[in-house]
Amino acid sequence: MARSRLCLIGAPWDGSSSFVRGAAAAPPRIREALWSDSTNSSTELGIAIEPDTFDDGGDLPMPGDAAGARLLIEQAVTSVVLAGGIPVVLGGDHSISYPALRAFRRQPPATILHIDAHGDLYDEFGGDRYSHACPFARIMEEGLAGRLVQVGIRTATAHLRAQAARFGVEVHGPHRPADVPVESLQGPLYVSLDLDGLDPAYAPGVAHPEPGGLSTRDVVQLLHRITAPIAGADIVEYNPALDTRDLTARVAAKLLKEILAVAIRNAR
Ligand SMILES: [Mn+2]
């Protein structure tokens, strides 16, 4: 595939975070880890990720209000989608996934593979229907995906379980990720990766660290098992202020590379 079909978009927005902010500082730190001389361009699929492997649209100039931020994200992602590109959005908090998926509303992805400790299916959270705890409720209400498959979930309240049942969400915990039927997921497929899906031992730099999560290896293997073409992806909730020795930035950059490699492999 034409490599320029892949387009990175930074969405430095954390104004919809319910606990602590700071994820807005993530995109430049993930890029820094991506190009750090501490590593190289290789991926485990044998596809190199170099500066010319994808377009980098830079970071969106976020306004101060959430509605304006959502509109800007939706417009930026829509322009990539309409040009036949594959957007990869770096958050920001998880609220950015809703406007990112709105960009596909003319042709929604068949499947969203959502890796997270949290279902993010609240009808509202703290009075905010666009909170980072709510994006997948909005996405499912608007029919922005055929199927939502969640992995790593370990904080399901009664409300979240009811919401998952209402929307037909397939919820997998962090146990036995090898049992998730990733190979059979239909495409186009959108990957939404919240770094708190990983155990805080692997990714401490998040606002809501939840022990008992996936390992970095679990997530790499889940990604590699995707056979469907990739429609788009996001990586969210990295909070540099809470990180230790840039560990989480390195995990985000590693998983970004593997997502890009899977997108290239599966488009062939
Ligand atoms: Mn989460």
Q: What is the pTM of this model?
A: 0.98
Spacing, Cα 183 to ligand 1 middle (Å): 24
Spacing, Cα 60 to ligand 1 middle (Å): 22
CATH number of residue 263's parent domain: 3.40.800.10
* Domain membership of residue 118 as a residue range: 3-267
Contacts of 174 (CB under 8 A, 6+ apart): 117, 151, 152, 153, 154, 197, 199, 212, 213, 214, 218
Per-residue pLDDT band at 4 (split at 50, 70, 90)? low
Spacing, Cα 215 to ligand 1 middle (Å): 15
Euclidean distance between the first and the last CA atom of the chain, given in angstroms as a whole number:
6
Spacing, Cα 220 to ligand 1 middle (Å): 18
Spacing, Cα 52 to ligand 1 middle (Å): 31
Spacing, Cα 14 to ligand 1 middle (Å): 13
pLDDT in tens, 39-74: 999 999 999 999 999 999 999 999 999 999 999 999
Spacing, Cα 237 to ligand 1 middle (Å): 7
Spacing, Cα 12 to ligand 1 middle (Å): 17
**Torsion, Cα of 136, 140, 141, 145 (10° steps):** 130
Phi and psi at residue 211, to the nearest 5°: -60, 160
pLDDT in tens, 69-121: 999 999 999 999 999 999 999 999 999 999 999 999 999 999 999 999 999 99
| Count of structural domains within the chain | 1
Is the N-terminal amide bond of 177 cis, ω within 30° of 0? no
